Amino acid sequence: MSQENLPIEHLYFTENNLEQILENLDIVRNRIHPAPVDDTEVGSERVFPSVCLIGLGRCGSNIALDVASLVYDARRSYMREVEHQEILSSETEFRPMRWIRKHLPLEDKDGVNPLFLIEPIVLLGDLDKDIEGRIRFSNQEGRSQFLDEYKKLQIMDLSEVHAGGAGNAPILGQYLAKIILNKDTTTFHNDEWRQLHSYLVDSCGIKANQSRLYFYIFSAGGGTGSGMASEFGLAQQFSYLSKTFDYRSDQSQSQLADKRHSFVFEPIFTSGICILPNISGKNVEISEALHINAGRLLTKYISEEWNFSYNEEREDDEVPGDMMKRIRPWNSMMLISNDIMRYAEEENGGDAQNIDVNTMEKYANQYISQQIFNILTAQAVTTDYDKDYFRRAGIDIAETIRLDANDLFMSLAGPVAVAYAESVVNEGTRQDSVDIDDLFCRSIELPHFNSDTSAIEGVSVLPVESEQYRKLMSNYRESGYDANTINHLHFFKNCSSIVSIISLPRDYKLSFTALNRLKMHLNRLCPNTTLKRYALVIGASANLSLTTLIAKSPCLSDDFLTLMVSYMKRCFARDEYRYNDEIDKAIISMIQDDEFDETIIDQYFTEYENPAKILDTNWYAIKPMYEKKYRELIENTQHFVSINDIRLDIDNVKNAIKYLREIYRHRISKTNVLSLNN
C-alpha cells in the first residue's frame, strides 16, 4: 500500500532498504552479544532472543527491568551451580574436555536444557530524558552490576523529540509517539534509535530477526505509557502487515546467496501488559484522571479489536488497503490491576488503607514479573511426557503447546486476565499428595500471599466487586469446588479461550489424574471456551505452579466496564448527561438488549472526545505548541498529523460497545451424538 493512500493516522516510517535493515540488525546483535574472545563464533549464529520486552513510561520500564533482573538472577544461580560442579570434576578432566563443556550448550544427562536460561531482549523507553540515570542510580542492590552485565537491555533515548514527559495526558503521549514513529529514522542524530527501530519495527517477522514474541508493558493510568504503547504497537503491526500484504516478487531478493537476507516471513505474537489503576478502596474516587486515562486506553483498544476481528461491514476482506486501516496494536492485552496489593493485604489480615503507593506498585510488579517469567519459560515443551501420558489425562497431545508465537497467535486475542497459584513440592513429595483442587481454587481467588513461597497468587482482575467475589469464592470452596457457584459470572461463562501453563520442578512428575482434574475444573468453570491449550514446563521452577490465561471475557468485568464508562462520561458526554447515571444505565442496556440502536449513542455523546476534560489548563494553548513541534521535526507537509486527527471519535464508542455486545453473547453449541439406528 503506497504512502499516498494511507489513512492519516498510519504514516509510520518503515525502512524499505533491506541492506540498511540488516546492517542495523548486525549492530544491535553485536551490542547484545559482545564479541567472543576467539574467532570461532560466527556472527550470524548469535541470534536474537525469541522474546522481547518493551517497557514504556516509568511504570512499564520499572517492571521490564524487574523481569530482566529475575531472569539474570536465575541464570547467575544456575551458572554458579554449574561452575561448582566443574570445579569438583576438573582434576580428572582433560583441558580439551573443559573447553568443549564451556563452549557447547549446557545440558544434563537427560538432555533437558534449563528452560529458565531464555533471556529476553529488553527495551526501555520514556519521554523523561533522564531515564538512564533513573535506572542506573536507583537504590536496588546489585542493580549496577546487572546493568553492566545484562547486555540485552537497551535504552531507547527519545529525548531528541521530547524530553519532558506527557503531563499525564495520554493524547499528548500518543501524539509525541506518533512524531517519533512518523519521523524518518535517518534524520535522527541518535544512531542507536535508528538501529533499535530496525529491530523493533522494520524487521519484525523476517528471518534475520529471530524475535517472535513482543510484550509491551505500561501503566494505563499515566500519560506517557498509555499514550505511547499503542502507537509503538500499531507501528510494529503496520510494518508487519505491510510485508504480509506485499505480494510483489522481487527477483533480486530471491537470488541472494545469503539466505539470512531473504524476507522469509514468520508469525509474531504481540501483547500489551496493561497495569490498571486502583479503583477500589475507601479513599479512591473513580473520577480521578488516571481512571479516565485508563478508560480511554480500554475504549481505544477494544474498538480497534472489534474493527480488526469482528467488523463484518467490510466489503472485501481481501483488499490489503482495507485491512491496513483496521489494524490493532497487539494480538492481546493482559490486564493486571494495581489493586492486587490491597486485596493481598486484606486477605493477610493487614490494614490495606495504610499501604504506601510504592509498596503497592512493588508487589504489583512482583506479580507481573512472575507471570511474564512463566510465559518466558514456556517456550519449549518438555519431552518428559509422552502422548500416552496426555491421553490418560484426557488431553489430546495437539492441545499441548510450546508457547511460541504461532500458538499464542491462534490461542489468545483481545483482553486477557491471568490466574496464578503455586505449591511447594520436593523430591520426596508423592504425586498424589498435591491438592490440585486447592491449587486451582487459589489461582482464581482474590489476590493473596502464599505463606510458603511469598508469591502473590490469585486472579489479576476481579470478575465482580471484591466483597461479592469473596463470598462467591467462599461458597465455591464450601461446596466442594462446585463450578455452578461461580460459572454464571460473565468473566467465566463468556470466556472464549484458555491457555494453561503448568510448571514443575525437574524431579517432580505430576500424576495424570491430577492433570485430568485440572482439565475438569477448567471445563466446568468455563463451559463456552472454543479453545483450551496446555503447556507443561519442566525444571524452570522450584515449585509446582499453575498460570491460566483467560481471553476476551475480562472486558465484561466490573473494573473494565467502570473505567471505560467513566472515560466516556467525562470526555464524550453532552453536558446534560455528564453528572447523572443515565449514561451508565443506557450503556448496560445497550450491551444487554437484543437490538443495538446506534442513534442512542448520538443522543448522549458528542462526535469527538474533549481532551480538555482531564487537563486543568487551556487545551487550545497546548495543542498548537505540540503541532509546531511536529512541523519542525517532520518537514513533509503532506505527512502532517494534527492532534485533532488522533482524537477518539463517536465511532470508537460505538465499536467498543459492539465488542462488548459480541463477547456478552459468546457461547458455543454442544455436540450431540447422532445415530441412524434409533
Query: Do 290 and 642 contact (CB within 8 A), yes or no?
Result: no
Torsions phi, psi of 460, nearest 5?
Answer: -75, -25
- Per the CB < 8 A criterion, the answer to whether 462 and 469 are in contact is yes
Picking from 106-120, 130-144, 530-544, 642-656, which range would have the lowest pLDDT averaged per residue?
106-120
Range among 231-240, 496-505, 663-672 with highest mean pLDDT value: 231-240
Domain spans of the chain, in order of start: 364-556, 563-664
First to last CA, the chain: 58
Burial class (CB in 10 A: 0-12, 13-18, 19+), 663: buried
Indicate the burial class of 267 (C-beta count within 10 angstroms; 0-12, 13-18, 19 or more). Answer: middle
CA–CA distance, 271 with 415 (Å, rounded to integer): 10
* Exposed / middle / buried, residue 243 (Cβ in 10 Å: 0-12, 13-18, 19+): middle
Q: Is a pLDDT exceeding 70 seen at residue 257?
A: no
Locate cell 527519545: which residue?
158
> Rounded to an integer, what distance in angstroms lies between the CA atom of residue 587 and that of residue 570?
14
What gap in Å lies between CA 650 and CA 664, rounded to an integer?
A: 21
Ranges 543-547, 585-589, 631-635, most confident: 585-589
What is the spatial distance between Cα 238 and Cα 10, in angstroms, rounded to a whole number?
8
Report the chain's mean pLDDT, rounded to a whole number.
79
Question: Which pLDDT score, from 0 to 100, does residue 279 have?
Answer: 77
Task: Sort 649 into a burial class: Cβ within 10 Å, 0-12 / 13-18 / 19+.
Answer: middle
Cα 217 → chain centroid: 6
Give the residue, 559 or 140, on which the prediction is more confident.
559
Confidence of residue 249 (pLDDT cuts 50, 70, 90): very low
- Higher-pLDDT residue of 272 and 252 is 272
Sign, CA torsion 145/146/150/154 = negative
pLDDT at 94 (0 to 100): 44
347 vs 341: CA distance, rounded Å? 10
Q: What pTM, to 2 d.p., does this model score? A: 0.86
The alpha carbons of the chain give a radius of gyration, in whole angstroms, of 25
Q: Which of 657, 660, 664, 555 is nearest to 600 (CA)?
A: 657
Tell which wins on pLDDT, 325 or 319.
325
Please determine, for residue 314, whether its predicted confidence score (pLDDT) is greater than 60.
Answer: no
Which range (206-220, 354-368, 595-609) has the least confidence?
Answer: 354-368
DSSP letter (8 states) at residue 643: G
Q: pLDDT tens across 142-200, in order?
A: 566 677 778 888 888 888 887 777 777 888 889 999 999 999 998 888 889 999 999 99
- Length of the chain measured in residues: 678
pLDDT-derived band at 43, boundaries 50, 70, 90: very low
The DSSP output letter for 398 is G
For the segment 44-61, what is each residue's pLDDT rounded down to a tens digit?
A: 467 888 889 999 988 888
**SS3 of residue 538 by DSSP:** strand
Percentage of residues in the chain having pLDDT higher than 70: 72
